[in-house]
């Protein structure tokens, strides 16, 4: 039954071999070489398969079970695959499934593909059709940016988001940790940021923040699932939480009032105040020290009350602090107006303005991350009747989020400058996990396919059928989602 297969994002090669399917039973076992870096992956595979089947799946080490029995899911590192860390192969048939990749990260991609292949056959038997899948991502950066500043999301909710991201092979969770309304990450050198500015949120809703331990827990939870965390400390605008905690950042020397509205562009740092440089150095070096990944995001968006040269000075100071701590810089589109080191990642978002500086930055060696507001901003309403969300970049129905091409969206951008695609969800109107997933699902699956699948493997009608079959999975997890009228939900 070919139509039972509904993998998102669409793999590069997927063939049904015509063999008998693999049947999941109580004897199904995950087998792996007993290497430390593979054991966690095997446990993840057993956990995910166990959840689908409703019973525990055992992990065994290859050395201890020679002549592998039947009912085996074998995980293995191999070299004979398409290039890239995340390439993988899945081969399934009666009695045996092979998951192969060059790296543990590739095995994680194979595992979630396998999870998506499990179908309930008549009689309630769970089986995996006999297939050969060979797959690798189009873009190396496939992200979701979550605004935890306007409304705070506790660690347990962010873990649900990480699980969903991993399920659709997204690999970067970008956390917008600071804004006018709240500061969400404890910073060792600047304890007043969370002591004085974490309890507020938009509309007077409760706030919160992540301790260093919370943050490490999130980073580790993501790492096992192939999702790295990129922290954003937004400067030199969107800083009222900072200027509320440290009055020395203001010309008056006095703290600003806390803020719970949703205007943007009014708060700012000052390049000529003596406290500003040390603040940037302290905060960015502490945040970099909490970050095992390569990148730290400096924000840089919507600074509406500053001359261009002061803005450039502050962006350079923040960037220098990030680089001094051994990390690479990411910033929103506006930083393209300042001189940038080659390799800086510039994140495109504002579809209303002239993209010329952004194109020029790419030509000068910047890497481009595509988050067009009109396609990838998942806080935009689906249509005029959507209760939650904003509308400044238009309405984004499922097909709008799906049907766009990152390499030709902006004329003049060299295709090889595009490092990837990132969805964003801003939380001015989204106060909890159900509100968030109502906006993410189903559109996150669409963006994931834009970011992972080759353009010639993407097809709206086919995606429409595959996404319809995701609903039981979201329901099983108890997630709220939007039943787009563009899809015939099963
Ligand atoms: C623009 S996107 C912003 C955010 C808002 C968002 C709402 C960007 C870099 N800045 O501050 O939350 O629009 O959609």
- The residues, any chain, with a CB within 8 Å of residue 72's CB and separated by 6 or more, are 28, 29, 30, 31, 95, 96, 97
* 281 CA from centroid of ligand 1 (Å): 25
Closest to 181 measured CA to CA, from 254, 218, 234:
234
What atom in ligand 1 is closest to the CA of residue 333?
A: 9
* 345 CA from centroid of ligand 1 (Å): 18
- 262 CB within 6 A, ligand 1: no
Residue nearest atom 4 of ligand 1, based on CA coordinates: 426
Is-contact 134 106, C-beta < 8 A?
Answer: no
- For 262, half-sphere exposure in the C-beta direction (CA atoms, 13 angstrom radius) is 14
Q: How far does Cα 209 stand from its chain's mean position?
A: 20
Probe residue for ligand 1, chosen from 264, 265, 331, 378 as the CB with the greatest number of ligand atoms within 8 Å: 264
Is-contact 97 72, C-beta < 8 A?
Answer: yes
* 18 CA from centroid of ligand 1 (Å): 50
- 332 CB within 6 A, ligand 1: yes
Closest to 454 measured CA to CA, from 5, 12, 7:
12
Residue carrying structure tokens 């963006």: 447
Q: How far does Cα 5 stand from its chain's mean position?
A: 25
* 431 CA from centroid of ligand 1 (Å): 16
> Is 428 a residue of the active site?
no
Q: Distance of CA 14 to CAs 51, 129, 135, 158, Å?
A: 25, 11, 8, 32
Residue nearest atom 11 of ligand 1, based on CA coordinates: 264
Q: Output the CATH code of domain 141-459.
A: 3.20.20.80
Peptide linkage before 9 cis (omega within 30 of 0): yes
* 151 CA from centroid of ligand 1 (Å): 13
Sheet holding 13-16, edge to edge: 13-16, 131-135, 88-93, 96-101, 72-77, 29-32, 58-61
Q: What is the pLDDT of residue 34?
A: 87
Read off the tokens for 61: 């080490």
Q: Where do the domains of the chain lie?
A: 2-135, 141-459
What atom in ligand 1 is closest to the CA of residue 147?
A: 12
Residues of the chain falling short of pLDDT 70: 1-3, 63-69
What class, spelled out in words, does domain 2-135 have in CATH? alpha beta
- 182 pairs with which residues across the strands? 179
- 302 CB within 6 A, ligand 1: yes
Residue carrying structure tokens 């001015």: 428
Q: What is the pLDDT of residue 64?
A: 64
Q: What is the pLDDT of residue 162?
A: 98
- 400 CB within 6 A, ligand 1: no
What atom in ligand 1 is closest to the CA of residue 299?
A: 9
- 348 CB within 6 A, ligand 1: no
CA–CA gap between residue 438 and residue 387 (Å, rounded):
10
- 349 CB within 6 A, ligand 1: yes
End-to-end CA distance of the chain: 16
Q: What is the pLDDT of residue 67?
A: 57
- pLDDT, tens digit, 9 for 90 and up, residues 2-53: 457 999 999 999 999 999 999 999 889 999 998 888 999 999 999 999 988 8
Is ipTM strictly over 0.90? yes
What atom in ligand 1 is closest to the CA of residue 179?
A: 11
CA–CA gap between residue 33 and residue 37 (Å, rounded):
10
- 390 CB within 6 A, ligand 1: yes
Q: Distance of CA 207 to CAs 151, 152, 197, 435, Å?
A: 7, 6, 9, 16
∠ CA 58-60-66, rounded to 5°:
135
What atom in ligand 1 is closest to the CA of residue 332?
A: 9
Read off the tokens for 409: 């969206």
- 422 CB within 6 A, ligand 1: no
* 426 CA from centroid of ligand 1 (Å): 7
What atom in ligand 1 is closest to the CA of residue 238?
A: 11
Residue nearest atom 6 of ligand 1, based on CA coordinates: 426
* 114 CA from centroid of ligand 1 (Å): 36
* Catalytic-labelled residue, pool 248, 302, 310, 341: 302
User: What predicted TM-score, i.e. pTM, was given to this entire model?
Assistant: 0.97
Probe residue for ligand 1, chosen from 150, 426, 428 as the CB with the greatest number of ligand atoms within 8 Å: 426
User: What sign does the CA torsion over 279, 280, 284, 285 have?
Assistant: negative
- 264 CB within 6 A, ligand 1: yes
Residue nearest atom 14 of ligand 1, based on CA coordinates: 426
Q: What is the pLDDT of residue 1?
A: 42
CA–CA gap between residue 245 and residue 175 (Å, rounded):
21
| Main-chain dihedrals φ then ψ at residue 92, nearest 5 degrees | -130, 145
What atom in ligand 1 is closest to the CA of residue 393?
A: 14
Q: What is the pLDDT of residue 66?
A: 55
């Amino acid at each position: 039954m070919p139509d039972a297969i509904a993998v998102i994002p669409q793999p590069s090669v997927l063939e049904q071999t015509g063999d008998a399917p693999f049947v999941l039973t109580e004897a199904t076992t995950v087998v792996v070489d007993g290497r430390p870096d593979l054991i966690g992956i095997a446990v993840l595979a057993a956990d995910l398969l166990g959840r689908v089947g409703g019973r525990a799946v055992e992990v065994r080490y290859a050395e201890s079970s020679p002549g592998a029995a039947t009912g085996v899911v074998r995980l293995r590192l191999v070299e004979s695959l398409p290039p890239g860390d995340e390439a993988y192969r899945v081969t399934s048939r009666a009695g045996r499934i092979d998951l192969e990749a060059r790296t543990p990260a590739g095995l994680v991609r194979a595992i979630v593909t396998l999870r998506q292949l499990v179908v309930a056959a008549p009689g309630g038997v769970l089986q995996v059709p006999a297939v050969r899948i060979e797959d690798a991502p189009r873009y190396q950066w496939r992200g979701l940016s979550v605004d935890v500043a306007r409304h705070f999301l506790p660690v347990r909710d962010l873990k649900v988001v990480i699980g969903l991201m991993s399920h659709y092979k997204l690999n970067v969770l970008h956390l917008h940790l600071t804004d006018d309304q709240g500061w969400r990450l404890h910073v060792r050198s600047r304890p007043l940021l969370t002591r004085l500015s974490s309890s507020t949120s938009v509309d007077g809703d409760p706030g919160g923040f992540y301790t260093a331990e919370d943050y490490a827990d999130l980073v580790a939870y993501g790492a096992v699932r192939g999702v790295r965390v990129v922290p954003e400390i937004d400067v030199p605008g969107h800083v009222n939480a900072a200027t509320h905690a440290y009055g020395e950042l203001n010309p008056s020397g006095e703290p600003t009032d806390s803020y719970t509205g949703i205007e943007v562009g009014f708060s700012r740092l000052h390049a000529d105040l003596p406290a500003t440089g040390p603040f940037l150095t302290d905060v960015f070096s502490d945040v970099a020290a909490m970050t095992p990944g390569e990148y730290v995001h400096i924000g840089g968006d919507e600074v509406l009350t500053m001359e261009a040269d002061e803005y450039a000075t502050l962006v350079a100071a923040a960037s220098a602090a990030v680089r001094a701590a051994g990390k690479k810089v990411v910033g929103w589109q506006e930083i393209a107006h300042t001189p940038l080191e080659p390799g800086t990642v510039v994140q495109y978002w504002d579809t209303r303005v002239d993209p010329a500086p952004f194109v020029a930055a790419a030509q000068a060696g910047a890497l481009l991350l595509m988050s067009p507001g009109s396609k990838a901003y998942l806080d935009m309403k689906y249509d005029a009747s959507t209760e939650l969300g904003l509308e400044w970049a238009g309405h984004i129905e499922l097909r709008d989020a799906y049907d766009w091409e990152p390499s030709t969206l902006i004329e003049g951008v060299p295709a090889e400058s595009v490092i990837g695609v990132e969805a964003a969800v801003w939380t001015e109107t989204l106060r909890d996990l159900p509100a968030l997933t109502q906006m993410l699902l189903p559109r996150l699956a669409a963006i994931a396919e834009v970011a992972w699948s080759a353009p010639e493997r993407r097809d709206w009608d086919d995606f429409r059928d595959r996404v319809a079959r995701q609903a039981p999975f979201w329901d099983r997890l108890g997630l709220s989602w939007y039943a787009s009228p563009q899809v015939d939900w099963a």
